[in-house]
């Protein structure tokens, strides 16, 4: 059976590198920890000393609520929840329906996806005061932090003005100071000040340059064949051999989260041949027991017209995750 290995030393290396910029890490473990396994990664984060995380929904929060002192839900329900759970407020309408007292206000500084609009901020703050909501945090999200350009700094400047307004409001009304977070993985080294917390996802998992890959996908050998010259293999015989050669079938396919390919694919130590199957792929060479599909997602993604996130989050949750 195929296995996903999680490299603890690489994961901690990435966390060390992030901590050297800002030790206050709000770790993003949404969508099954970007495919790495939400329980597996939560155990490692707790061992490292991370106390705050972000998840996608209430169901994920329920899974990890015993690991951390605060869990921020990006897309929460409206009902009340545990003391260590905070709800991200993505619109004024959501705020008015919300019944959970612990919140983070998300501010739309230019992404135009979701968040409280700048012109709605005064109304939102007044509503929080009226309903006695505890504003634990205020945050925004960059739309172009992975590019060279001015958009990131335009958003950053807008957020600093929001920060000032929120702090003045809290002081005037004797409210606790919330913490502010806007720095994501791509913005870590770009901002003059990363503020109170950095909200990090893909960098932790080694999915961008400068960070070490954390996930390895290893397939088990199912069968070994000898392919004759001018003989094809796989669906539609998309691969035709130019010589006598050994081929090996392993138990990993597109049902496990590998993007579909029809003209081969470069793996860690060999090449996949022809078309991938739902549950298998045929690779070049003879292997004893196992074949490494990838151990650095940044290299594997070069086979496809996509991004590292897209492959990682689609790794099937049924594949066993093992910390090494």
Averaged pLDDT of the chain? 97
Q: How many CB atoms lie within 10 A of CB 237?
A: 12
| pLDDT interval class at 195 (50, 70, 90) | very high
Average pLDDT estimate for 102-109:
98
* pLDDT for residue 229: 97
* pLDDT for residue 65: 95
| pLDDT interval class at 311 (50, 70, 90) | very high
Residue 311 class from Cβ within 10 Å (0-12 exposed, 13-18 middle, 19+ buried)?
A: buried
pTM for this predicted structure: 0.96
| pLDDT interval class at 244 (50, 70, 90) | very high
**8-200 maps to CATH 3.20.20.10:** yes
Please say if 30 is a catalytic residue.
yes
Contact 248, 291 (CB under 8 A): yes
Q: Pick the catalytic residue: 235, 254, 268, 298?
A: 235
Comparing CA positions, the residue from 22, 23, 21 lying closest to residue 48 is 23
* pLDDT for residue 53: 98
DSSP secondary structure letters along 34-100 = HTT-HHHHHHHHHHHT--EEEESSHHHHHHHTTT-SEEEESS--SS---TTEEEEE-SHHHHHH---
CA distance 281 to 157: 50
Per-domain residue ranges for the chain?
Answer: 8-200, 215-323
Average pLDDT estimate for 185-207:
97
Tokens of 258: 């590998």
Q: pLDDT tens for residues 139-152?
A: 999 999 999 889 99
Residue 316 reports pLDDT greater than 90: yes
Please say if 212 is a catalytic residue.
no
* pLDDT for residue 1: 84
Tokens of 62: 């329920």
Q: Pick the catalytic residue: 30, 52, 106, 275?
A: 30
Q: pLDDT tens for residues 65-75?
A: 999 999 999 99
DSSP secondary structure letters along 294-314 = ES-HHHHGGGSSS-HHHHHTT
272 SS3 class: strand
Average pLDDT estimate for 310-322:
98
* pLDDT for residue 83: 97
* pLDDT for residue 312: 98
**215-323 maps to CATH 2.40.37.10:** yes
270 SS3 class: coil
């Amino acid at each position: 059976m195929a296995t996903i290995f999680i490299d603890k030393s690489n994961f901690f290396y990435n966390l060390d590198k992030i901590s050297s910029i800002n030790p206050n890490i709000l770790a993003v473990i949404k969508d099954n920890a970007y495919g790495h396994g939400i329980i597996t990664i939560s155990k490692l984060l707790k061992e490292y000393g991370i106390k705050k995380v972000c998840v996608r929904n209430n169901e994920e929060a329920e899974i990890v609520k015993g690991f951390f002192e605060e869990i921020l839900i990006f897309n929460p329900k409206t009902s009340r929840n545990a003391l260590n759970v905070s709800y991200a407020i993505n619109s004024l309408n959501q705020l008015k329906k919300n019944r959970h007292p612990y919140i983070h206000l998300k501010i739309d500084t230019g992404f135009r996806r979701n968040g409280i609009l700048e012109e709605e901020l005064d109304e939102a703050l007044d509503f929080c005061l009226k309903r006695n909501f505890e504003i634990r945090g205020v945050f925004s999200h960059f739309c172009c932090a992975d590019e060279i350009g001015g958009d990131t700094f335009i958003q950053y400047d807008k957020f600093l003005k929001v920060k000032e307004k929120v702090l003045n409001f809290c002081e005037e009304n004797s409210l606790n100071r919330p913490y502010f977070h806007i720095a994501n993985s791509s913005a870590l080294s770009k901002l003059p000040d990363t503020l109170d917390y950095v909200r990090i996802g893909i960098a932790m998992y080694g999915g961008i340059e400068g960070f070490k890959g954390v996930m390895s996908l290893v397939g088990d050998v199912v069968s070994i064949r000898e392919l004759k010259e001018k003989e094809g293999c796989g669906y539609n015989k998309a691969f035709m051999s130019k010589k006598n050669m050994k081929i090996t079938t392993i138990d990993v396919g597109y049902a496990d989260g590998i993007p579909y390919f029809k003209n081969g694919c470069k793996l860690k130590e060999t090449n996949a041949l022809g078309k991938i199957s739902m549950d298998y792929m045929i690779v070049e060479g003879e292997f004893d027991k196992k074949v490494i599909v990838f151990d650095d997602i940044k290299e594997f993604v070069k086979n496809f017209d996509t991004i590292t996130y897209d492959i990682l989050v689609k790794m099937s949750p049924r594949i066993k995750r093992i910390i090494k």
